[in-house]
């Protein structure tokens, strides 16, 4: 005679395992920031190529504002190709990627951009004002700004392709 | 080239482990010796390859090979030679390799020692161990590859987490992982017992030493972790109920329960089901611990890398828990107890209660650790419970356990008579009561401290009583005192090894009680030449001086300390500034003592160096925690020595 | 009373005691995470909270002699003044995130018993670089070096 109830022992472990799996839903990389939901601070910088870039001029576009530094490895090394790929894939649909290089030397930063063949605009935050305005605590940090110029998400640490797509896709879908 | 070689070695090892595990399982079912032989060869191959990979990774660290991402993340050109080696296991990828190496080492030892002894179980043991190795190799090759490249190659690495630049970091992870992986062996035997249906005492007898060794290393890992926390983190404590600590503590609790409950199965053939469950639980908790700390689902002050690794561990945890418990259900009929408890007042009951309390403690720790998750899942509110919860719930449990520590070893098996109770406990209880009165008279007013110390005295008295009686018996047979005692320890090494371990735990209890009840601290800001006073110490601030080390800058405070007894000494707590860190790291200075430690932490200071804030702590009896660890070591060594049955005269 | 009943009763007593201890422990020491707006909307004096927000720029006042540290935490909508006795942890700073644990006081201050500031392993904070530290070393060396 086979008993059924001993099988309740392994079955009782299932809710516990499900609870642990639930933990994955919480993404510690999505940092609640007081800035989320509020208008992004205006900035006006000059790119390494000498072109002006400002938030004002990008109104109506989805802006991915990324703070980086050449000395930040491996996180910035990891996300540089991701940002470049994202920029190439989405630029035709009104997405702008802007890199802000902080606490860095010009030479090292240019070497970094050459090595990763970055084609989106990158600018130096010369006096650190932009990183202060955005409450940047470390690098890399990435802000996703919607067409109305509001910060919609803040990402801490390297952005992955999946992060980039999910955030940008939602913002692009919104009416301008 | 080197990194590819390392990664290649891990890939081949993965293939070998997978093959070996399957081959051993088939050999277990069919009894084909040639397959088993082949699985054995595969296991030896896995060992060589994993150790090889560890050596290659170490080599990459020593050579500053920043083309390896893991090296670039965890070291820089300033990292001293010594810490370049510890940096190998300073983060996730390296610790997984270390874990794998130890598991491979255990597997090798099992092959060498158990091949002949445990013939019936052996194929399944080998299959299980290789199965677990397969999982870790899968993690090493997919989720956390230690040899992955970083392009372009940075000129300098990021540097080791400064908190890990400490001698404790050589030994702590090694001991902890020897403990964690050590429980794989009893687990493998339990699986083998279930697979073969031989769920009697045989597997318990075979794994007793393995369990003790694993338990010991886990204890050691916990203690070294406490020591690291105490002298590096600069908060003056050794245990914070942080999820990472809890993760290692839970398997320790269930492992301790296991050590005791197997004795009942050995003696009375009871608790078959319970013992198997405990082994499965303990092993699962070692996996759960790693899952907890590495998946990032629970916030902890020890911030670890997060990533896909959590999913791997959860999947494997589910496989282990469901698979092993499923086997248990499948063998249900064979697991019914053949013995029965005779009386509520008996050694069996005491051990049973000890088990219930240990598992209950494990459960509360588990509950408190996952509570934030539970609360968020069920009610959607972010709530956490901290140290007060764990203390409040666990202190009564631990005190009861200490009481049982005195009762268990002396109370009679089956049914304790009044005569037995009187003979064994009148003296210890009397001594305990006298002790309590004495403590009260000494001015100790904390009820908890009095209770803890009284219980400690009571248990120590039971151990002394037992030892004295046994010695006297030997004296009567004509031996002189010292040889009689030594003979006892050697002949009954298992029993007295256990007693010595208990003594170690008592000494640790003393340290914990003392530090919790009587430590004092103050924080104050001093100008040059000013003096702060605490608990009889006078601490004078003499000034600050800068210095430059190979990979960081240091601001050293000079304080002259006198306590009226000894000559004044100079203490130099510092603040360390690492270029790769945005904030300084405290460099604690301390003077250890049997009675108390003096502990200085430099806080804020003015840039001209004329004023500094300093935290002064007088931590009482903390040293006894570390001394208890040493006693624990002695006891463990004694307990696992080969047993020597008294020779026939 | 038969043995079996004794064991079952004993087990039940232990289980109930444990359940009670856990329940009491959780209700007494559970700490709720709140944001400055949440706590200002419904402050309960004397209840334990963990309050998280950004340290407002220019709000940090530190009295080394009395060890009084005051600052305000903000989430952009509400601002809560916080009091703490003792040095702040190394990672604490203006414009950075911080979590404080303590109780709400009826005088409008949050009394923090613990300041938590943490950073993750791979996530690198902007550094002053060596230059900043070198300068600090120099200024100390001049004044106090013997």
**Chain A residues near residue B77 by CB distance under 8 angstroms:** none
Question: Is pLDDT above 50 for C143?
Answer: no
A126 in contact with C, Cβ within 8 Å:
no
From chain B, pick out residues whose CB is under 8 angstroms from the CB of A116: 152
In percent, the amount of chain B with pLDDT more than 90 equals 65
Both structure tokens of A66:
């990324």
Decide if B377 and A73 are in contact by the 8 Å CB cutoff: no
Residues of B in contact with A14 (CB under 8 A): 322
Other CB atoms within 10 A of residue C16 CB:
10
The predicted-structure confidence for A25-67, as pLDDT tens digits, reads as follows: 655 555 566 678 888 989 999 999 999 999 999 989 999 999 9
CA distance B510 to B507: 5
- C90/A contact by beta carbon, under 8 A: no
Pairwise CB contact (< 8 Å): C76 & A75: no
What's the whole-number mean pLDDT along residues B175-204?
A: 94
Q: Decide if pLDDT at B432 tops 80.
A: yes
User: Cβ of C132 under 8 Å from any chain A Cβ?
Assistant: no
pLDDT band at residue B296, thresholds of 50, 70 and 90? low
Q: Check pLDDT > 80 for residue C95.
A: no
Q: Hey, is the C-beta of B443 within 8 angstroms of any chain A C-beta?
A: no
The answer to whether the CB atoms of A156 and C123 lie below 8 A apart is yes
Query: What pLDDT was estimated at residue C131?
Result: 62
Inside any domain, residue A66: yes
Q: Which of residues 100-139 of C touch B (CB under 8 A)?
A: 101, 116, 118-122, 124-127, 129-130, 133-134, 136-139
A6 domain-assigned: no
Rounded to whole angstroms, the Cα distance separating B128 from B124 reads 6
Residue of A nearest to B158 (CA): A73
Rounded mean pLDDT of chain B? 90
Check residue B373 and give its pLDDT.
84
C residues 67-106 near B, CB within 8 Å?
67, 86-87, 90-91, 93, 101
Q: How many domains does chain A have?
A: 1
Contact C119 A131 (CB under 8 A): no
Kindly tell me if the per-residue pLDDT of C76 is higher than 80.
Answer: no
What is the reported pLDDT for A2? 62
Question: Radius of gyration over alpha carbons of chain C, in Å?
Answer: 23
Residue A14 falls inside a structural domain: no
Contact B553 C133 (CB under 8 A): yes
DSSP state of C82: E
Task: Collect all residues of chain B within an 8 Å Cβ-Cβ radius of residue A3.
Answer: 332-333
B585 contacts chain C (CB < 8 A) = yes
Domains of chain B as residue ranges with CATH = 1-165 (no CATH), 417-518+625-640 (no CATH), 520-621 (2.60.98)
Instruction: Please tell me which of the candidates A31, A102, A157 has its beta carbon nearest to residue C122.
Output: A157
Query: Would you say residue A19 lies in a domain?
Result: no
Q: Least CB-CB distance to A138: which of C52, C77, C124?
A: C124
Averaged pLDDT, B209-217: 96
- Interface residues from chain A to B (CB-CB < 8 Å): 3, 6-7, 9-10, 13-14, 17, 19-24, 26, 28-29, 73-74, 77, 115-116, 138
- Nearest CB neighbour to A139, from listed C53, C76, C126: C126
Check if the beta carbon of residue C70 is closer than 8 Å to that of residue C82.
yes
φ, ψ of residue B537 in degrees (nearest 5): -95, 140
In this prediction, residue B242 carries a pLDDT of 86
C77 has pLDDT over 50 = yes
pLDDT confidence band for B305 (50 / 70 / 90): very low
Closest CA to B111 of B127, B99, B96, B100: B127
Beta-sheet pairing, B596-605 with C61-63: unpaired
Q: What is the pLDDT of residues B100-159, one digit of tens each?
A: 999 999 999 999 999 888 888 999 999 999 999 999 999 999 988 999 998 888 888 888
pLDDT at residue C118 tops 60: no
Residue among B321, B332, B370 minimizing CB distance to A13 = B321
Q: Across the interface, do B329 and A9 touch by the CB < 8 Å criterion?
A: yes
Interchain CB distance below 8 Å, C21 and B364: yes
Q: What is the pLDDT of residue C125?
A: 47
Interface contact flag, A135 C126, Cβ < 8 Å:
no
The model's pLDDT over A62-91, given as tens digits with 9 standing for 90+, comes to 999 999 988 787 788 889 999 999 999 999
Look-up: residue for tokens 């002894």? B117
User: Do B317 and A17 count as a contact with CB atoms less than 8 A apart?
Assistant: yes
Give per-residue pLDDT as tens, B4-55: 999 999 999 999 999 999 999 999 999 899 999 999 999 999 999 999 999 9
CB contact under 8 Å between A14 and B311, yes or no, is no
Write the pLDDT tens digit of every residue in B366-416.
Answer: 999 989 888 888 887 778 888 889 999 999 999 999 999 999 999 988 888
Which residue of chain B is at minimal alpha-carbon distance from C6?
Answer: B344
pLDDT level of residue B544 (50, 70, 90 thresholds): very high
- Per DSSP (E only), the strands in C42-95 are 48-55, 61-63, 68-74, 79-85
Determine contact, residues B274/B262, Cβ cutoff 8 Å: no
CA distance B457 to B290: 37
- Write the pLDDT tens digit of every residue in B310-362: 889 999 999 999 999 999 999 988 888 766 777 888 898 999 999 999 999 99
What's the pLDDT score for residue B647?
Answer: 47
Which residues partner with B537 through β-bridges? B534
Give the per-residue pLDDT at B582.
67
pLDDT band at B596 (very low <50, low <70, confident <90, very high): very high
Domain with residue A109: its CATH number is 3.40.30.10
- Overall average pLDDT of the B245-249 stretch: 93
Return the number of other C-beta atoms located less than 10 Å from residue A157's C-beta: 25
Cα(B264)–Cα(B262) distance, rounded to whole angstroms?
5
The larger pLDDT score, comparing residue C58 to residue B260, is at B260
Nearest CB neighbour to B73, from listed C122, C129, C138 = C122
- Phi and psi at C2, nearest 5°, equal -75, 160
The pLDDT value given to residue B588: 93
Q: Do C124 and A75 touch (CB under 8 A)?
A: yes
Task: Please choose, from the candidates C118, C125, C49, the residue with its C-alpha nearest in 3D space to the C-alpha of residue C82.
Answer: C49
- B244–chain C Cβ distance below 8 A for any pair: no
What is the residue range of A79's domain?
Answer: 36-173
**pLDDT at residue number A36:** 80
| Neighboring chain B residues of A29 at a CB cutoff of 8 Å | 306
Q: Which residues does chain C have within 8 Å of residue B163's beta carbon, measured at their own beta carbons?
A: none
Q: What is the percent of chain B with per-residue pLDDT over 70, rounded to a whole number?
A: 96
Does the beta-carbon distance from A34 to C95 stay under 8 Å?
no
Contacts of B528 in chain C (CB under 8 A): 144
d(CA B246, CA B368): 9
pLDDT in tens, B598-614: 999 998 898 888 999 99
Indicate the pairing of strand C30-34 with strand C48-55: parallel
Q: What residue in B sits closest to C131 (Cα-Cα)?
A: B579
Inform me whether the pLDDT recorded for A127 exceeds 90.
no
C-alpha dist (Å) from residue C17 to B233, C4, C22, C23, C52 = 36, 20, 9, 10, 35
B516: which DSSP letter? H
Alpha helix segments (H runs only) across A44-98: 75-90
d(CA B590, CA B597): 7
Q: Is residue A17 part of a domain?
A: no
User: Chains with 3 or more CB pairs closer than 8 angstroms to C?
Assistant: A, B
**Residue B564 to residue B329: CA distance in whole angstroms:** 68
Chain A interface includes C95 (CB < 8 A): yes
What is the 8-class DSSP label of residue B643? Answer: P
Cα of B93 to nearest chain C Cα, Å: 13
B60-100 pLDDT tens trace: 999 999 999 999 988 989 888 889 998 999 888 899 999 99
Closest CB to B389: pick one of C6, C26, C64: C26
Chains adjacent to B (≥3 CB pairs closer than 8 angstroms): A, C
Of B29-43, B75-89, B528-542, C82-96, the one with minimum mean pLDDT is C82-96
Q: Does B610 contact C90 at a Cβ distance shorter than 8 Å?
A: no
């Amino acid at each position: 005679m086979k008993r059924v109830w001993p099988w309740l022992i392994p079955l009782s472990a299932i809710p516990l395992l499900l609870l642990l799996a639930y933990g994955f839903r919480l993404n510690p990389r999505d940092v609640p920031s007081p800035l989320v939901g509020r208008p992004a601070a205006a900035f006006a910088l000059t790119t390494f190529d000498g072109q002006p870039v400002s938030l004002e001029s990008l109104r109506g576009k989805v802006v991915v504002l990324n703070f980086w530094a050449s000395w930040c490895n491996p996180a910035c090394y990891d996300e540089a190709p991701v940002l470049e790929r994202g920029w190439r894939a989405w630029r035709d649909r009104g997405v702008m990627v802007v890199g802000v290089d902080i606490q860095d030397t010009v030479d090292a930063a240019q070497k970094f951009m050459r090595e990763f063949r970055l084609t989106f605009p990158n600018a130096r935050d010369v006096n650190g004002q932009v990183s202060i305005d955005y409450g940047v605590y470390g690098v890399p940090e990435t802000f996703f700004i919607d067409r109305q110029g509001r910060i919609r998400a803040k990402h801490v640490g390297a952005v992955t392709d999946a992060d980039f797509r999910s955030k940008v896709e939602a913002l692009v879908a919104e009416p301008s | 080239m080197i990194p590819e070689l390392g990664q290649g070695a891990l890939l081949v090892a993965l293939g070998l482990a997978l093959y070996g595990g399957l081959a051993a399982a088939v050999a277990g079912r069919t009894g084909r010796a040639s397959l088993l032989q082949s699985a054995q060869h595969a296991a030896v191959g896995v060992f060589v390859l994993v150790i090889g990979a560890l050596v290659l990774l170490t080599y990459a660290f020593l050579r500053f090979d920043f083309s390896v991402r893991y090296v670039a993340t965890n070291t820089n050109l300033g990292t001293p030679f010594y810490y370049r080696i510890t940096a190998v296991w300073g983060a996730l990828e390296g610790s997984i390799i270390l874990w794998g190496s130890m598991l491979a080492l255990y597997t090798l030892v099992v092959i060498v020692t158990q091949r002949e002894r445990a013939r019936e179980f052996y194929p399944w043991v080998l299959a299980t161990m290789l199965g677990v190795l397969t999982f870790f190799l899968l993690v090493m090759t997919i989720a956390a590859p230690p040899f992955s490249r970083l392009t372009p190659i940075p000129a300098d690495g990021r540097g080791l987490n400064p908190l890990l630049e400490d001698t404790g970091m050589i030994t702590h992870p090694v001991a902890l992982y020897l403990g964690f992986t050590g429980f794989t062996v009893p687990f493998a035997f339990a699986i083998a017992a279930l697979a073969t249906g031989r769920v009697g005492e045989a597997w318990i007898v075979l794994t007793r030493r393995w369990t003790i060794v694993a338990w010991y290393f886990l204890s050691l890992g916990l203690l070294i972790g406490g020591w690291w926390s105490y002298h590096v983190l600069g908060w003056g404590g050794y245990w914070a109920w942080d999820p990472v600590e809890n993760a290692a503590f839970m398997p320790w609790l269930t492992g301790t329960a296991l050590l005791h409950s197997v004795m009942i199965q050995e003696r009375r053939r009871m608790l078959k089901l319970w013992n198997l469950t405990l082994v499965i639980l303990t092993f699962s908790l070692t996996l759960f611990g790693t899952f907890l700390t590495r998946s990032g689902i629970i916030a902890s002050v020890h911030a670890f890398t997060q990533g896909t690794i959590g999913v791997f561990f959860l999947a494997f945890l589910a496989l282990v828990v469901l698979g092993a418990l499923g086997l248990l259900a499948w063998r249900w009929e064979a697991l019914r107890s053949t013995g029965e408890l005779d009386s509520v007042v008996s050694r069996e009951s005491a051990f049973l209660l000890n088990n219930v309390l240990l598992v209950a403690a494990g459960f509360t720790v588990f509950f408190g650790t996952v509570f934030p998750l539970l609360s968020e899942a069920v009610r959607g509110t972010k709530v956490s419970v901290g140290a007060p919860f764990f203390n409040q719930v666990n202190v009564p449990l631990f005190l009861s356990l200490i009481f049982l520590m005195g009762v268990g070893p002396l109370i009679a098996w089956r049914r304790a008579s009044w005569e037995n109770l009187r003979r064994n406990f009148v003296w210890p209880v009397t001594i305990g009561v006298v002790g309590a009165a004495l403590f009260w008279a000494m001015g100790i007013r904390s009820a908890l401290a009095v209770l803890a110390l009284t219980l400690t005295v009571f248990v120590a008295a039971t151990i002394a009583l037992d030892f004295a009686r046994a010695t006297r018996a030997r004296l009567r047979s004509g031996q002189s005192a010292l040889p009689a005692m030594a003979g006892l320890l050697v002949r009954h090494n298992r029993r007295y090894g256990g007693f010595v371990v208990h003594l170690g735990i008592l000494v640790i209890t003393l340290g914990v009680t003392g530090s919790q009840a009587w430590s004092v601290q103050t924080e104050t800001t001093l100008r040059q030449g000013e003096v702060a006073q605490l608990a009889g110490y006078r601490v004078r601030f003499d000034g600050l001086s800068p210095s430059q080390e190979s990979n960081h800058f240091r601001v050293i405070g000079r304080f002259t300390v006198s306590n009226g007894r000894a000559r004044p000494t100079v203490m130099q707590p510092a603040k360390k500034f690492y270029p790769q860190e945005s904030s300084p790291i405290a460099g604690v200075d301390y003077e250890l003592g049997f009675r108390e430690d003096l502990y200085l932490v430099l806080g804020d200071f003015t840039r001209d160096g004329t004023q500094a804030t300093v935290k002064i702590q007088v931590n009482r009896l903390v040293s006894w925690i570390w001394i208890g660890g040493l006693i624990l070591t002695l006891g463990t060594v004694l307990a696992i020595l080969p047993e020597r049955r008294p020779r026939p005269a | 009373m038969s043995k079996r009943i004794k064991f079952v009763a004993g087990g039940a007593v232990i289980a109930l005691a444990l359940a009670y201890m856990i329940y009491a422990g959780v209700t007494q020491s559970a700490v709720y995470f709140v944001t400055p707006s949440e706590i200002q909307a419904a402050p309960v004096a004397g209840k334990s909270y963990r309050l998280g927000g950004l340290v407002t720029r220019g709000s940090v006042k530190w009295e080394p002699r009395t060890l009084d540290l005051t600052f305000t935490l903000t989430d952009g909508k509400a601002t809560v003044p916080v009091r703490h006795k003792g040095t702040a942890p190394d990672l604490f700073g203006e414009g950075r995130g911080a979590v404080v644990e303590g109780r709400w006081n009826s005088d409008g201050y949050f009394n923090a018993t613990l300041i938590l500031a943490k950073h993750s392993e791979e996530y690198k904070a902007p550094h002053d670089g060596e230059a900043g530290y070198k300068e600090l070393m120099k200024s100390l060396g001049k004044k106090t070096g013997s």
